[in-house]
Structure 1
Amino acid sequence: MQKFVPFEKLSKKEREKLNKARRGSWGALNPVTRRPENPKAYNRKKLQKGEDLRFEAFFVSDFCDAR
């Protein structure tokens, strides 16, 4: 039978071994906190008002074909 040794008096390696054994897995749960985007914040990736990429592509392709 092993003697009881308080956690504080264990060696660093023994404490690490004990801590690893106590830790469980998260399973299917992802521990990363997720928050929805702030709707009031500026988003430069979002298409801005007045910009229409389809019109731009149409204009450039017509200009190139005219030559």
Structure 2
Amino acid sequence: MEKFIPFEKLSKKKQREQNAKRRGSWYGLNPVTRKPENSKAYDRRKARKWSDDSMTVPFVIFSGRVSSEFHPGIRFERLP
């Protein structure tokens, strides 16, 4: 029977051997704690995606008459 030696007094090599025996396998499980992203937080990637979207094309609504002085190359005619 081996004589008991406290862990702290073992050599580094023996300590590593004992630690390796104690450690088990996680069998593919990642032990890192994960949490969902905060949905209320500002997301730069989402903002950039929105600005790259085609919806940022300027859109102008004309109300009333449109005259040819604004568009000299286009002729506007009245319909009877």
Q: What's the TM-score bracket when you normalise by the shorter of the two chains?
A: 0.5 to 0.7
TM-score, length basis structure 1: 0.60
- Structure 2 residue 3 is matched with structure 1 residue 15: no
Q: Percent identity between the aligned chains? A: 59
- The structure showing larger relative contact order (alpha-carbon pairs under 8 Å, at least 6 residues apart) is 1
Residue 65 of structure 2 is matched in structure 1 by none
What pairs with 1:1-67 in structure 2 (closer than 5 Å)?
Answer: 1-46=1-46, 47-48=49-50, 51=51, 53-54=53-54
Structure number with greater Rg is: 2
More helix by share: 1
Alignment size in residue pairs:
54
Q: Which runs of 4+ in 1 moved over 6 A?
A: none
Judged with a 3 Å threshold, the aligned counterparts in structure 2 of structure 1 residues 54 and 22 are, in CA distance, closer, same or farther, namely same
How many angstroms apart in 2 are the aligned matches of 1:52 and 1:5? Answer: 67
Alignment gaps of 5+ in structure 1? 57-67
Judged with a 3 Å threshold, the aligned counterparts in structure 2 of structure 1 residues 8 and 54 are, in CA distance, closer, same or farther, namely same
Alignment gaps of 5+ in structure 2? 57-80
How many angstroms apart in 2 are the aligned matches of 1:55 and 1:7? Answer: 67
Judged with a 3 Å threshold, the aligned counterparts in structure 2 of structure 1 residues 52 and 5 are, in CA distance, closer, same or farther, namely closer
